[in-house]
Structure 1
C-alpha cells in the first residue's frame, strides 16, 4: 500500500511542469519568495501550486494577491467570486486596495463601465489614472455632469494621464472649453520637458485652425532656424503666431538671449496677450538662470495668468534682486493656498520688515515660529528664539505598543523587510499608519527602531508629530563608525548626520535611481574619484555597499567639497547633491544671504535638500551639544562668485 502511495505521488509530480514540480515541499519564507519569483517570471503553474499551501504565514495574503493579479492579466474572464472573497478576507488592507485598482484597470480594458462604477467607490486613494477612468465610466453610462467637473479642472490637467483624454475631448466637444483653452494646453505642454505631448493636443483644434505637423516639428525642433525663416505674413493666423511663440519658448531653454532678441524683432506682430505670455516664459527661464532680467520680464508679463511654478519664481527672482516691494507684491498675488505656505509667510514677513512694518512682520513670524522646519526655525529666530534642545518624546504605553505589535499590516511589513522586500514593506508600513493617532504611530516608530528599520522609525515619528518626537526623528545610528571618520576629516558631526539623514535615512542598502548607494548615497564615479584622492588602492564598486567604506568615502567627499566651497556648509550641501560646479555657479555677483541662496537654487530637489540638511544640522546640534542653535548663523552669507 505504501509503495502504491509513493508511486501515485511520483506520477502526480511528473504531471506538473518543471517549474511547479520544483516548488513542491517549499514552506515558510521559501514558499513566499518562490511565489514572488513565479509571478515575476509569469510562471502560472508554480504560482497556482504555491497558492494551495495551507500553512500559516503572515505573508499568505501576498501569495493570494499575486495569483489573482496573474489571473487578471489572463484573457479569460476575471474570477469575480475569488476577487470578492479576497476583498472580504483582507478588508481595509493595502493589498485589497491594490487589487481593486488592478481589477478596475481590467474592467476599463474590457469596457465594463457599469462594473467599474460599482467597484470604484470602495477605493480609498485612487490615482489620477483611475480617477480619469471613473470620468470615462460615468460618461459611458450617461452621466454628463462629468463635463462640468473636467471643465473646471482643465488648466490643472495639462500633464494628465492618457486615461484622461476621453473626458477632456468630450468636454471640448460639448463646447464647455474652446480653442483658447486648447491653445493654453498646447503652450504649457510645449514649455515642459516633453513637448511631444502637444502633438496629440494639436489634433483637438477645429479643422482649419491647427498648424501643419511639419511646421510644428520645425518650430520645436529647430526653433532658431524656424524663427529666422518666418514669412512676413506669419501673424495673419492664430496658428502662425502660436508656432512662433512655441519656437521662442523652446529656444529660450538653450539660448535665452537669442530668444529675447527674436521676441523683440517679432513682438509688434503679436497680440498683447501673446507678448505677455512670451515674456512670462522668458522670465521663468531667466529666473532659473538667476539672471537679473527675470524681474523686469515678469513685470512685462503684466496680468497674464502664471503657472504655480512661475508664481514661485517671480518671488525668487525678486528675492535674488533684493527688491522687497516686488517680493511683497508677488506673494500677495499668489493663490490663497499658496499664501499659507510657510515659505511665503516667512518671506512676506521679511518684506514687511524691510519696508518698516515690523508689527505686521512679527504677526506673520508668529504663525510659523512653532514649526520645526526651515522657515519655522528662521521665523522663531526673528522673534528672538533660537532652536533649543528639544524635550524627549512622550511615553509609549504598553497598550499602545500592543496595538502596534498586533497590527496585521505592520506584521506583514516586518516580514517583508526581513525578506529584503523593502519596496513592498514600505508600502505596507505606510498604509498601516493611515488614519492612526500619534500614540500608535509613535509605538510603530519604536517597533521599527527595535528592528533596525531606521527610515520607518523616523518617518513614523514624524508622521505622528512633525514638530515633536525629536529623539525618534533624529536618530544617531552607526555612531561608532561615523564619529571616527568625522573627527579624522575635521567635520561637524551634526552636519554629517544632517546630511546622512536626508540622503538615506540610515538605510544601508539604499540605492537611488541614479545609482547612488549606501548610507551616504555615494555615486560610483564619485566613490572612484575619492578613493583615488585618498589613496585607497583596493577600491572597487562593491565596496560602496559596505557601511564603513561608504562612510569613509562620503565623509572624505564632504571634506573635499567643503574646502573647495569656501568652507561653507550651505554651498557644500548643495555641492554634495548637485555637484560642486553648480553650487559655485549659483552664487551671485554680490554677497547673498544664505537663506536666499538656498531658496533660489534652480533645481527643485537640491533646493529642498539644502533646506532640510541645514534644518537637520541645527536640530542635531541642539541635541548633541545640549544648547540652543542658530540656523541663521549657520546659513550665513554666501560670498560672490569669482
Structure 2
C-alpha cells in the first residue's frame, strides 16, 4: 500500500511539470481510485492538477465522498448532484447518502435529503416512513404503512420497524391479511403466504386457506372443488396452482378436469382462465401428447392464443399432417401468415399435398429475405443468399458532435478501462436523449472503439436490421478461424455461436453461470480442457478470448462429431445439452431436418439453432465466401427432399 502511494506521489510530481498524456491520466486515475478504495487517499488536492480535465475525474470525487459519508454534509451532496446531474453518479450518491442517514438514524436529515431528491421505490419509501415514525410524524407514517404492507411480495427488513409499530395498533385486520395471503399465493410467494397466514383470524378465511394448502399438496383434489368451498380470487389462485402442478405429471387428466372447472370462475377472474388455457395448451403441444389436438381445440376453440396456434402447426408438422398445417396457418393473424416461417411451411405443405402446387415462385419470393427460412428457400431454389445490407450515411460533423457528448466520452473511457457496468450506465443515460439516427451513429462509434455488443444493441434498439456492419461485427476473427480449422468445423460457425451467445461481450455471464464469449459452463470448460489438453487453470480465464474460443470451439467440435456431423443437432446440443438432443432425436429424429428444427420444444433453443445457422451464412457472405446454410448431406434431410431414416439411438 505504501509503495502504491509513493509511486502515485512521484507520478503526480513528475507530471505537473510537463504535458500529461491521456494514457498517463488513465494510469493515475486507476491508481488513485485504488487508494481511495483502500482508505489511503483522503483528498484529491494533489490529483486536481493532473486529472481535473480527465473525463472520469467525477468518479474519483464520487468514490471519495462515498467513502467519507460520515464526514459529509447535505450541502456537499447537493453540490455534487447538481454539478454532475448529467451523470449516473448523482443518483448513485443520493442513494448512498440516504442509506447512510438511515443506518445512522439521522431521521430529520433523511427526511430533508429525501424531500430534495426522492427515490421512488418501496425500500426508500419505507425508510422515509420509519424516519417520520421516529421524528414526530407517527400518524402519517402509520397511515402509509398499510399501502406498503399490502403487496404480494416480501418487503425489505428496513420496513420492519414501521410494520411493527403498525401492528401494535391492531393491524392488519383479518380481511387485510387474507387479501395479502391470496396476493402472495397468486404470485407464487408461498413462503410469504405461510407467514401472512398467521395474521388471518376469521374462521371462514382460515378454512379457505387450509383448503388451498391441501389442494396444493394433492392437486387432483381440484377436480371436486366446489364454489361453496372457494370462490372469487381465492378459487382462481387455488385452481391455478393445482392445474399447473397436476399438469406436470398428467397433462391430459389435468386438462380434462380444468375444462370442467373453468366454467365455475367469474368473469372477473378471466385473466386466470386465459393464463391456464395457454399454459395447459402449450404443455400438451410441446410434449406432443397423442391426445393433444382435441384438448387444445377445447382450450382455445377460436384460435385466440397466437402462440398456441403456432404450436398446433408444429404438432401437425410432427405428424406430417399437411392439411392441418395449412388449415392452422390460415388461423394465424395476417401478419403472422406472411412471416418467413409460415410462408415456408405453407409452401412445403402445398407441395406435399400436390406435385402440381407451385414451388419455384414461392421459394424465389421467400429467398429475398435475410432469415433462416429465407436462406433455406434460396438454397432449395439454387438462388444466391440475399443480405439486404445497408449502411446509414455517416456524416463527419454529426459524428464529431456525438463524440463530444460528455456522457459518451466518459462511456468510452470506462469501456477502455474495462469498467463495463459504469460504461453501460453512462451510455444508456445519453442514449435516452438521442434521435434514432443518432443512436445508430453512436453504434458505429462503439464499433470503432471495439465495443461490439454496444454496437449490436444500437441496431437492435433502433430496429435497423439491415445495418449489418454493426449487427455482425467479427472480433477475434483470426482466433475463431484458427480454432475452427483445428477442430475441422466450418470457419464461421463458432463466430456465429459467439454472436448469438454473448454478442461478443468477453466477460458475459449468464444466470446459470456460463461465461465468456462462447458462454461455457465451468464444468464443461474443465472437462473440455482436460480432454483436449488446453491450458486452463482458473475460472477467470473464461473471460480471456483466446482461452474461451479454444475451449468453446473444441466443445462445439465434440458435439459435431457426436451428432453425426450435423450442424443443426450439434448447435442444439451446444445450447440445450447433448442429453436433451439425444432425447429429441429418439422421439422425433425420423422427421425431416427442417421439421425437427421447427418442433424443438424449447423456444430458446429453436430460435438459437435457426439464428446460428443463419448467422453463419451472413458471416460467410460478409467475408467474401459463398457459404451455405446446410451441407449436402443435411439438405437431403429436408421435407421437400428424400425423407430421412430414423437415426440410430445415441
Return the TM-score normalized by structure 1.
Answer: 0.67
Give the root-mean-square deviation of aligned CA atoms.
6.1
Cα deviation, residue 473, structure 1: 2.8
Q: Label 1:88 to 1:232 Cα distance change in 2 as closer, same or farther (>3 A).
A: closer
- Is the aligned partner of 1:90 residue 2:91? no
Matches within 5 A, 1:242-391: 245=239, 248-249=242-243, 251-252=245-246, 254-256=248-250, 260-261=252-253, 272-273=264-265, 281-302=279-300, 312-313=307-308, 315-322=310-317, 323-324=324-325, 327-328=328-329, 331-332=332-333, 345-346=339-340, 387-391=385-389
Distance 1:381 1:273, change over 3 A: farther
Distance in 1, Cα, partners of 2:123 & 2:375? 39
Structure 2 residues without counterparts, runs of 5 or longer: 13-24, 133-139, 163-170, 267-271, 318-323, 352-356
Q: Does 1:238 align with 2:236?
A: no
Name the residue aligned to 2:580: 582
1:237 Cα shift?
Answer: 0.6
Partner of 2:605: 606
Larger RCO of the pair (alpha carbons < 8 Å, separation 6+): 1
Correspondence for 1:622: 621
The answer (yes or no) to whether the contact 2:410–2:423 under 8 Å persists in 1 is: yes
Give 3-state SS (helix, strand or coil) of 1:396's partner: coil
Distance between the aligned counterparts of 1:92 and 1:465, measured in 2?
27
Q: Please report how far the alpha carbon of residue 551 of structure 1 lies from its aligned counterpart in structure 2 after TM superposition.
A: 2.5
SS of the residue corresponding to residue 492 of structure 2 reads helix
Deviation at 1:630, TM superposition (A): 5.8
Long gaps (5+) in structure 1: 1-16, 148-153, 167-172, 333-338
CA spacing shift, 1:117–1:577, aligned 2, 3 Å: farther
Q: Structure 1 residues 617, 354: CA separation in 2 closer, same or farther (over 3 Å shift)? A: closer
Partner of 2:457, secondary structure, is: helix
Match of 1:209 among 205, 210, 216: 205
Q: Aligned partners of 1:181 and 1:303: how far apart in 2? A: 34
**How many Å apart are 1:232 and its aligned residue?**
7.9
Establish whether residue 64 from structure 1 lines up as the match of residue 58 from structure 2.
no
Distance 2:381 2:87 in 1: 46
Quote the residue 1:401 is aligned against: 399
Q: Distance in 2 between matches of 1:178 and 1:374?
A: 53
SS in 2 for 1:506: coil
- Over 3 Å counting, the alpha-carbon distance change for 1:189 and 1:462 in structure 2 is closer
Matches within 5 A, 1:405-554: 405-437=403-435, 440-441=438-439, 443-460=441-458, 463=461, 466-534=464-532, 536=533, 539-541=536-538, 544-554=542-552
Helix, strand or coil: the match of 2:475?
A: coil
Per-residue CA deviation, residues 178-232 of structure 1 (Å, 9 max, x unaligned), is 9999898667534xxx654655787999953355666645544x446xx57x998
CA distance in 2, matches of 1:569, 1:131: 53
Question: Residues 510-563 of structure 1: CA distance to partner in whole angstroms, max 9, x if unpaired?
Answer: 4444443443233332223223433x1755346645544433332221122122
Aligned 8 A contact 1:280 1:297 in 2: no
Aligned length: 575
* 2:256–2:295 CA contact under 8 A, matched in 1: no
Alignment match, 1:13: none
2:227·2:264 contact (CA, 8 Å) conserved in 1? no
- In 2, the alpha carbon distance for the partners of 1:492 and 1:249 equals 46
Q: Is the 8 A contact 1:491 1:559 kept in 2?
A: yes
1:289 Cα shift? 3.6
Q: 1:454 to 1:262 in 2, by over 3 A?
A: closer
What is the TM-score of this pair, normalised by structure 2?
0.66
Paired residues of 2:399 and 2:441 also in contact (CA < 8 A): yes
1:335 is aligned to none
Q: 1: CA distance between counterparts of 2:308 and 2:450?
A: 41
Partner Cα separation in structure 2 for residue 205 and residue 596 of structure 1: 54
Partner SS state of residue 493, structure 1: coil
Distance in structure 2 (CA, Å) of the matches to 1:351 and 1:204: 57
Highest Rg: 1 or 2? 2
The separation in 2 between residues aligned to 1:132 and 1:375, in whole angstroms, is 53
